[in-house]
Amino acid sequence: MPRTSFAALPETDRRSFLGLAGGSAAGLAFSLALPTAAGATTRGGNLPFPFTQGVASGDPLTDAVVLWTRIAPDPLAPAGGLDPGARVEVGWQVAEDERFRRVVRQGSVVTSEDTSHTVHVDVRGLRPGRPYWYRFRAGGHISEVGRTTTAPSPRSMQPLKLAAASCQNWRAGYFQVMSDAIAQGAELMVFVGDYLYEYPVQQLPIGRAIDPTLPSEVIPTTVTLDQYRLRYSLYKTDPDLQAAHRVMPWVMSWDDHEVANDYESWPTPDLDRRAAAYRAYWEFTPIRWPRIPQGADARLFRRFQFGQLAQIDMLDTREYRDPQVRGTVVDDGPRRDPARQILGAEQEAWFAEGFGAEQVRWNIVAQQILMARLNTASDPEAPVVFSAGTWDGYQAGQQRMFDVVAASQSRGTSRNFFVLSGDVHCSYVSDIGVDTLDPTSPVIGAEITSTSVTSAQDFDPEANERRQVRRRVNPSLKWADLHCGYVLCDIRSDVLRADVRVVDKVSSHEDPVFTGASFEAYDGVPGIVQV
C-alpha cells in the first residue's frame, strides 16, 4: 500500500463539520464530512445491516452531547463494505424515553468514505442532568438504542459514578472489564489513552484467541491512514467495548499508542504518521473537538463541569512535550531543565487559568501518565531514579502544575485535587506532595492510575511482588498492583470512593472481575486512604 502524506488535508478540513439541520429547528447536527465528489446517496433499503460498529456518545454538557456511529456493513473491508464513492444518508433521533414516544431532537446527515462513513452529531438544546436515548436509521435499518446523560445544572451537587480506564490492547486479552463497568452502574467513562495499539495483530502466547481468517490488511503495524482506520474498525467489533459505548457517554484523550510507542521521543518525528493517526482518532471517537486536526496538529485538551460537584480537566501530555530522555533519569540534569515542556505553553496557560476558576468540590485532572513523584529504584538503599516518560522526567513542568494547585488551594478557589492517570499498566495509588524535590512535603492531593484494560495481560504474582519494593522506597505510595482492570469512582460531596476493579485472566473472557482494593479521599483532607 503506497504511503500518502497527510501532513496537510486542507480540502477535507474545509468540508468538515458541515451542518445539516433536520426535524427540529433547535437541533444541530454535524457530519464529519459532506462529500463534494459525485456519488449516489443511499436512502432506501438496499444496504445490509450497516451499524456493525455500534453507537456511542461523548463529551456531555448541560445541554448537549455528541452522538457517534459508523455505516459499515462489512467493517473490516475497504470502505466498510460500501461501494467506492458511496454517500449514505443517516437519520438520528434523541428521545426522553427508550421507546421513543417523546422524541425531542432529530435530523439527518450524509456520510462518505472521506471519513470512513463515520457520523458525529452534536445534539444541542437538551435538559441538564437527565438520561436520553438515541438511535440512527440508514438504508431501511435501525441501530441499537443508545443511552446517554447530560451534565447536571451548574448549581447541582448530584453524585457521579465514573469509570476510569486506559490501555486496551486487543490482542492481549478480552475487554470484560468494560461490561463490568456497566454492571457496577458507571454513568461516565473517562478514558485516558491507549484506546488501541499500533503493534501487529498477532496471536500472543497469553492473550485473546485471534481468528486466523482475519483479513490480512488488518494485521500489520499501523502507519498509514487506512491502517489506523482498520485498527479502529477491528477494536470496535468487540462486544464489550460496544456495550460500554452504548450505555454511557465517554470523555476521552489519547496516549502514545494511538500513534506509536513513545512517539514523542523519536529524534525526527514522523509527522505524516502522526497526522494519519490523529485523523483516524478524530473520525472514530465521540469527541467534540475544540480544534479540528490540521495534519499533525490537533488540540484535544478540554474541560467538563458536573455541577458544583466536580470539574474534569482532560489534558494531553503527548502532543506538545519535548522529547523524553531514554530510560531512567537521576535527580539532576535534563529532569530539572526548566525549559523542558510536557504540556506546552498554550495548554499550561489554559490549565493555570481554568483550575479553580469555577468553585467545585472536586477538581479532577484526567491525563495519561503518572503525575505523582515515584522513585523507581529497585532497592531502598539505591540512588533515587525516575522514569523519564512520566511527569518526573519533566520536573520543572511538574512543579509548575503543583504550584498552580497549591496557589488555588491557598486562595480558597479549589479544595480537593484528584488525578486519574493511565499508561503504566499498574494501579498506583499515591498522595501528591507539593514539592517535587521533597518526598515528605505537605500533601495537596491524590492520584490513582487505572491499571490497564488488557495490556498487562494475565496477572503474574511474582512480578507483582517485585513491584512492591516501590512502596518501600516511596512513603507517598499506598498501593501498587499489576492486575488488569479499571477504577470505579463514586464521587459525592463529602467523599470520593475509588474501587480498583481487577481481573486475574484477560485471556479468558469468562474470568470474573472483582474489587482488588478500595480507597477514599475526603472533602477538605488532602490525600487518600485505603479502606
Query: pLDDT tens for residues 222-238?
Result: 999 999 999 999 999 99
Among candidates 524, 484, 435, 448, which has minimal Cα distance to 208? 484
pLDDT, one tens digit per residue, over 303-362 is 999 999 999 999 999 999 998 888 789 998 889 999 999 999 999 999 999 999 999 999
pLDDT, one tens digit per residue, over 193-220 is 999 999 999 999 999 999 999 999 999 9
Range 142-168 average pLDDT: 98
Range 468-485 average pLDDT: 94
Range 412-431 average pLDDT: 97
Give residue 378's pLDDT.
84
Q: Exposed/middle/buried for 124, CB within 10 Å: 0-12, 13-18, 19+?
A: middle
Q: Which residue is associated with the grid cell 488525578? A: 419
Give residue 332's pLDDT.
85
Cβ(181)–Cβ(450) below 8 Å: no
Residue 23: pLDDT above 60?
no
Among candidates 231, 223, 294, 285, which has minimal Cα distance to 259? 223
Residues 414, 416: Cα–Cα separation, whole Å = 6
Name the pLDDT band for 18 (thresholds 50, 70, 90).
Answer: very low
Cβ(235)–Cβ(228) below 8 Å: no
Q: Of the given ranges (6-15, 208-217, 291-300, 359-368), which has the lowest mean pLDDT?
A: 6-15
Q: Of the given ranges (13-22, 262-271, 319-328, 481-490), which has the lowest mean pLDDT?
A: 13-22
Residue 521: pLDDT above 70?
yes
Range 81-94 average pLDDT: 96
Range 153-171 average pLDDT: 98
Cβ(20)–Cβ(108) below 8 Å: yes
pTM above 0.85, yes or no: yes
Among candidates 323, 326, 354, 353, which has minimal Cα distance to 339? 323
Give residue 82's pLDDT.
96
Cell of 142: 435501525
CATH 3.60.21.70 at 155-193+300-530, yes or no? yes
Cβ(455)–Cβ(472) below 8 Å: no
Residue 26: pLDDT above 90?
no
Q: Of the given ranges (115-124, 237-246, 328-337), which has the lowest mean pLDDT?
A: 328-337
Give residue 62's pLDDT.
98
Range 85-90 average pLDDT: 96
Residue 247: pLDDT above 80?
yes
Cβ(306)–Cβ(158) below 8 Å: yes
Residues 232, 201: Cα–Cα separation, whole Å = 12
Residues 420, 19: Cα–Cα separation, whole Å = 35
Among candidates 142, 163, 178, 164, which has minimal Cα distance to 69? 142
Q: What is the mean pLDDT of the chain?
A: 91
Dihedral of alpha carbons 492, 191, 482, 394, sign: negative
Name the pLDDT band for 503 (thresholds 50, 70, 90).
Answer: very high
Residues 351, 499: Cα–Cα separation, whole Å = 28
Range 51-60 average pLDDT: 98
User: Residue 265, by phi and psi: left (phi above 0), alpha (psi -120 to 50) or beta?
Assistant: alpha
Per cent of the chain over pLDDT 70 is 91
If one counts every other C-beta atom within 10 angstroms of the C-beta of residue 14, the result is 11
Range 104-126 average pLDDT: 97
Residue 244: pLDDT above 50?
yes
- The count of residues in the chain is 531
Residue 527: pLDDT above 60?
yes
pLDDT, one tens digit per residue, over 388-398 is 999 999 999 99
Residue 285 makes CB contacts below 8 A (sequence gap 6+) with 56, 58, 68, 195, 250, 252
Range 24-35 average pLDDT: 32
Q: Of the given ranges (59-73, 262-276, 368-382, 433-447), which has the lowest mean pLDDT?
A: 262-276
Three-state SS sequence of 225-279: HHHHHHHHHHHCCCHHHHHHHHHCCEEECCCCCCCCCCHHHCCCCCHHHHHHHHH
Residue 418: pLDDT above 50?
yes
Q: Which residue is associated with the grid cell 483550575? A: 355
Give residue 8's pLDDT.
31
Name the pLDDT band for 30 (thresholds 50, 70, 90).
Answer: very low
Dihedral of alpha carbons 113, 118, 122, 126, sign: positive
Residue 58: pLDDT above 90?
yes
